[in-house]
Amino acid sequence: MLKVFLVEDEFVVREGIKKNIDWKSHGYDFCGEASDGELAFPMIQKAKPDIVITDIRMPFMDGLELSKLIKKELPQVEIIILTGHGEFEYAKEAIKLGIAEYLLKPINGEDLLSEVDRVALKIEERRKEREIREKYVKEMEENSLKERKDLFQYLVTGNKSMSELLEFAQKLEMDLSAMWYNIVLLKFQSRNHAHDEYSGSLIEIEQKLDYISMNDKQVLVFDRNLEGKALLFKADSKEELLELQKSAIEKIEAVMKEYEHVRYFGGIGVPVNRLRELPVSFERASHAFAHRYLVEESRIINSSDMKQSVYSDESDFDINDVSPKQLDRNKIREFLKTGDREESIYFVEEFFKDLRTNAMKSVMFRQYIIMDAYFCVIDFLEGLQIPKSEIEPLDITSGILQNEEAAMSYVVKIIAKALELRDKSASNRYGDVVDEVMAYIEKNYADEELSLNLIASHVNFSPNHLSMVFSQQTGQTLIKYVTDYRMNKAKELLRCTNKKSSIVSMEVGYKDPHYFSYLFKKTQGMTPTQYRGGKGGEGEE
């Protein structure tokens, strides 16, 4: 119900408009009245009416001055001005202000109501257009998330210029300007479920994390698919940045106390004062983040607190200095199962650093480590039915034992290769999942409730994981596939039947024909009627 507010200095006229029109029965809420603009403005600010009816000539503050204030403070409010014959110049100025209409006094209730109805129709049309745009933005959110992921990759790889980064961010309505930056990597994983299982708790945590960032423009959140989330902190001073970072982490840890069955882990980078230096912050955060494969408890590690040298300077080596727990092969197995290929270097460096000895100075120990890693990789691949010939053979005469760097380089290489083979094998397996998703869409495309969340729950995946898998397998986002499928069905019905656009809309999953028309024109470049008529038609059916 639209709200109407009346401003009129003549008591008799004001009472007549108020009482001679049955506002409620005509669908309006008469929400207030005042005798002049000065009294009216604070009341209008509080009531927030949809339509203001005001006289143009009043004491203290006239209708024009009031209209200027309203349009500045509440631009969406429509204003109808009442004016006498001798006030036409005022009326012309009112039109320049964006006044909906001006009416000549005296005016009867029926004519005023008719004008209010016309303005109300305009308001409803504008509101409908806004709702349609908001719905479109929400439905296309998956596409926006992909663009945000791309931006984050550009930020941390350093292969885009400063102007390119700012331009890309501007398109996404993101402000990257600041004096200091830092990156924090986060991951949440259910202790009781597989990493690709649909989890209500993980969805809730993501929503709360997004809420934290939404209330602080200095924190930007990026989705990294199975690798979790990345938080980009920005501030005008290093001190402000560290305080902001500390506050956000405290909020996250407070949220996680509600979810004891969910393990969380984070890696904090180092502050940098140039946008182009973010790769440095990301690399340090990645080193800290790699420790999630080396420890079991939930924690957020600050890279500034970690030792930066992988090896000690001591040359003596005593096998008794090495703890069997530090050589836990399960850590490598876990990384092979869930790690990302790009993290291989970080994991291997942190794995060896975690030995806390100068063991890698010993040729004998390097040989043991390399052999152990090699057989661990081979065992993992055999479990995936992948032949060991896919991995570079273990040849200790090839120079891999020459020094620590050569040994580490070999281990990184075979682990990265194993992850590449794992992902290729998984990609083949995911083909069946994508086929199932496509079949589900084909069967349910007419259901308006069809969404990424609904489809993900059908195949027992998390929405983020399914989105990633579908994009990798098909080269397009899931929501784009659904939209394209529906649009193709709509075009088929428009060309092959005489059904009205409103019926076609219903049959392809859009109950709101206005939204269907908006989306069709957005994706096809023309209205449904124009498409049916070979671009020759105009308007909608």
User: Do the domain assignments include residue 7?
Assistant: yes
Can you tell me the distance from the alpha carbon of 430 to that of 417, in angstroms, rounded to the nearest whole number?
Answer: 20
Task: Give the residue-averaged pLDDT of 72-82.
Answer: 87
pLDDT band at 360 (very low <50, low <70, confident <90, very high): low
Q: What local confidence, expressed as pLDDT, does residue 196 receive?
A: 40
Q: Please state whether beta strands 78-83 and 101-104 pair in parallel, antiparallel, or not at all (unpaired).
A: parallel
User: Do the domain assignments include residue 440?
Assistant: no
CA distances from 12 to 16, 33, 35, 43, 255 (A): 6, 13, 11, 21, 60
417/507 same-domain check: no
24/113 same-domain check: yes
273/396 same-domain check: no
User: Do the domain assignments include residue 501?
Assistant: yes
pLDDT band at 390 (very low <50, low <70, confident <90, very high): confident
**Containing H/E element for 31?**
strand 28-34
Bridge partners, 32 (sequence order): 5
Structural domain boundaries enclosing 539? 446-541
Residue 416 has pLDDT above 80, yes or no: yes
Q: What local confidence, expressed as pLDDT, does residue 537 receive?
A: 41
Residue 190 has pLDDT above 70, yes or no: yes
128/177 same-domain check: no
H-helix segments, 339-451: 344-353, 363-383, 404-444
Q: Which residue has the higher pLDDT, 143 or 443?
A: 443
132/200 same-domain check: no
Residue 41 has pLDDT above 50, yes or no: yes
330/410 same-domain check: yes
Residue 437 has pLDDT above 90, yes or no: yes
Q: What local confidence, expressed as pLDDT, does residue 319 receive?
A: 53
Q: What angle do CA 389, 393, 398 make, to 5 degrees?
A: 160
Neighbours of 305 (CB within 10 A): 8
Average pLDDT, the chain: 83
Q: What local confidence, expressed as pLDDT, does residue 43 receive?
A: 93
User: Do the domain assignments include residue 441?
Assistant: no
Can you tell me the distance from the alpha carbon of 381 to that of 398, in angstroms, rounded to the nearest whole number?
Answer: 23
Closest alpha carbon to 30 in 13, 42, 45, 47: 47
Write the pLDDT tens digit of every residue in 464-504: 778 888 988 888 889 999 999 999 999 999 999 999 999 99
203/342 same-domain check: no
- List the CATH number of the domain containing 479: 1.10.10.60
- φ/ψ bin of 518: left (φ > 0), alpha (ψ from -120 to 50), beta (otherwise): alpha
Write the pLDDT tens digit of every residue in 208-243: 777 766 567 789 988 887 678 899 999 999 999 999
In terms of average pLDDT, the best of 44-58, 95-109, 416-430 is: 44-58
155/135 same-domain check: no
Task: Give the residue-averaged pLDDT of 354-375.
Answer: 74
Q: What local confidence, expressed as pLDDT, does residue 4 receive?
A: 92
User: Do the domain assignments include residue 413?
Assistant: yes
89/218 same-domain check: no
- List the CATH number of the domain containing 293: 3.30.70.270
Write the pLDDT tens digit of every residue in 162-177: 888 988 998 888 889 8
User: Do the domain assignments include residue 521?
Assistant: yes
Can you tell me the distance from the alpha carbon of 180 to that of 390, in angstroms, rounded to the nearest whole number?
Answer: 45
Can you tell me the distance from the alpha carbon of 319 to that of 240, in angstroms, rounded to the nearest whole number?
Answer: 47
Bridge partners, 314 (sequence order): none
Domain's final residue, options 429, 461, 491: 429
Q: Count of domains in the chain?
A: 4
**Containing H/E element for 3?**
strand 2-7
Burial of 458 (C-beta count, 10 Å sphere; 0-12/13-18/19+): middle
302/381 same-domain check: no
User: Do the domain assignments include residue 402?
Assistant: yes
Positive or negative, the CA dihedral 264, 265, 271, 275 is negative
- What is the number of alpha carbons within 13 Å of residue 394 lying toward its C-beta? 17
Can you tell me the distance from the alpha carbon of 91 to that of 82, in angstroms, rounded to the nearest whole number?
Answer: 9
Neighbours of 122 (CB within 10 A): 14
Instruction: Give the residue carrying structure tokens 């649009």.
Output: 487
Q: What local confidence, expressed as pLDDT, does residue 541 receive?
A: 44
DSSP conformation class of 392: P
Write the pLDDT tens digit of every residue in 78-121: 988 887 755 556 656 656 666 767 677 777 888 888 888 888 98
pLDDT band at 383 (very low <50, low <70, confident <90, very high): confident
Write the pLDDT tens digit of every residue in 291-325: 888 887 889 999 988 754 443 444 455 555 555 55
C-beta of residue 468 within 8 angstroms of C-beta of residue 423: no
Q: Whole-model pTM?
A: 0.57
User: Do the domain assignments include residue 292?
Assistant: yes
Can you tell me the distance from the alpha carbon of 140 to that of 121, in angstroms, rounded to the nearest whole number?
Answer: 28
220/284 same-domain check: yes
Domain's final residue, options 306, 326, 354: 306
111/19 same-domain check: yes
DSSP conformation class of 76: T
pLDDT band at 290 (very low <50, low <70, confident <90, very high): confident
Domain's final residue, options 374, 394, 429: 429
Residue 539 has pLDDT above 80, yes or no: no
Q: Please state whether beta strands 78-83 and 2-7 pair in parallel, antiparallel, or not at all (unpaired).
A: unpaired
